Amino acid sequence: MTRVVLGSASSGRLRVLRNAGIDPLVVVSGVDEDAIVEHLGTEAEPGDVVTALAKAKARAVHQVLDGGVTSDCVVIGCDSMLYVDGRLSGKPETPEQAALQWDSMAGHDGLLYTGHCVIRVLHGGAVHTATAAEVTRVRFASPGPTDLAAYLATGEPLQVAGAFTLDGLGGWFVDGIDGDPSNVVGLGLSVTHRLFKDVGLAIGDLWAANPVS
């Protein structure tokens, strides 16, 4: 029975998996994301950046799992960033940064990149690793000053890549998307399904082994 391990503290990613019939074990990676981004350099492609981060997270989580889990499990690592006007952005660190982020994307389109890494683990060892980046175009509305101030005051923009959500309070300020909505939340079901198949796993078996109570 293959245990699914989600290497992320994101409530959105957890919700995506649970809504899709899988209740994972959650283990946060603790990876230094800034160091990885700095090492890759400013010329790195957005898809390569988020994939490298996702792979680092999945590998870090694999290393801290106990033997009872690593006897038969699959680890999922993900990372999301928003690309607007030639700039790649993760989570803003302050409300001021979140406000500047919204100044740059309000009324415009952005590309939400999510890197995915799936590591198949058997008897403690990583036997298969598969990675992919998925991109979804997001069409942003132009919230007025009052609405934007109220949104920033909720604190939600500081918790998510690009300072917005599709499935939360930020959804009021998204005019539409082109692509997989679950990818915008942070874990694309379509691409994760493909990666599961690449490492020899079937969704039906994972449902049975990780039921949502």
Query: Any idea which residues carry the catalytic annotation?
Result: 79
The distance from CA 136 to its chain's CA centroid, rounded to whole angstroms, is 12
Residue 124 falls in which region: left (phi positive, over 0), alpha (psi -120 to 50) or beta: left
Q: Is 175 exposed, middle or buried (CB count within 10 Å of its CB: 0-12, 13-18, 19+)? A: exposed
Structure-token pair, residue 141: 């509305």
H-helix or E-strand spanning residue 67:
helix 67-70
